[in-house]
């Protein structure tokens, strides 16, 4: 069963590569695949419980790996003068909605909490990286509104980072 899931993941990669989908969007497709596996495992009423467990494990692993990969790619490509980071921001927003949807779909309260926390952290990474990138790009512009807007965006990014630290300290 695991071999079939891995084979379908490789096939998905080859299909997306054939259609020249940008690599920053690949994690969205894998997260959608993991969400579909999670949905299928929730609806599976088969007589073999091990198959449902395999699909659940593969779905959770696929969602976790796609989120970790996306966060690392976003942080690694956070070049303040590069516009190629915008697809990563889009991917972070879509990944946040996928994790929110997964938290609603699950019945286990522990897993719901994990997916809610992951959605919160993904939205925070999206806001923090987008706010930092926008703040610095507004900071180098010369329009009259650029400096106040840049300070506002950078300040909100720092405030959100402080909120993350407090959230992780008190709720985890």
pLDDT tens digits, 83-122: 778 888 888 888 988 998 898 888 888 998 899 888 888 8
pLDDT of residue 144 exceeding 70, the answer is no
The pLDDT of residue 107 is: 86
The pLDDT of residue 127 is: 79
Listed range (41-50, 85-94, 155-164) with the worst mean pLDDT: 155-164
User: Checking phi first, is residue 20 left (phi over 0); if not, alpha (psi -120 to 50) or beta?
Assistant: left
Using DSSP's 3-state secondary structure scheme, residue 96 falls into helix
Q: How far apart, in whole angstroms, are the C-alpha atoms of residue 129 and residue 156?
A: 11
Q: How far apart, in whole angstroms, are the C-alpha atoms of residue 63 and residue 37?
A: 10
Residue for token digits 């920053």?
A: 24
Averaged pLDDT for residues 32-45: 86
142/19: higher pLDDT: 19
């Amino acid at each position: 069963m695991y071999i079939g899931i891995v084979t379908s993941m490789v096939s998905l990669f080859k299909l997306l590569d054939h259609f020249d989908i940008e690599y920053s969007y690949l994690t969205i497709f894998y997260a959608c695949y993991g969400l579909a596996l999670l949905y299928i495992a929730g609806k599976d009423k088969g007589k073999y419980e091990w198959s449902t467990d395999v699909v659940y494990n593969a779905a959770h692993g696929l969602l976790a790996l796609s989120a970790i990969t996306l966060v690392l790619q976003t942080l690694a490509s956070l070049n303040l003068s590069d516009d190629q980071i915008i697809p990563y921001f889009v991917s972070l927003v879509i990944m946040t909605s996928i994790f929110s949807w997964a938290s609603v779909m699950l019945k286990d309260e522990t897993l719901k909490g994990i997916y809610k926390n992951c959605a919160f952290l993904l939205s925070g990474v999206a806001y923090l990286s987008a706010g930092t990138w926008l703040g610095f790009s507004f900071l180098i512009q010369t329009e009259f509104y650029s400096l106040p807007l840049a300070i506002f965006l950078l300040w909100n990014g720092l405030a959100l980072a402080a909120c993350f630290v407090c959230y992780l300290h008190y709720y985890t």
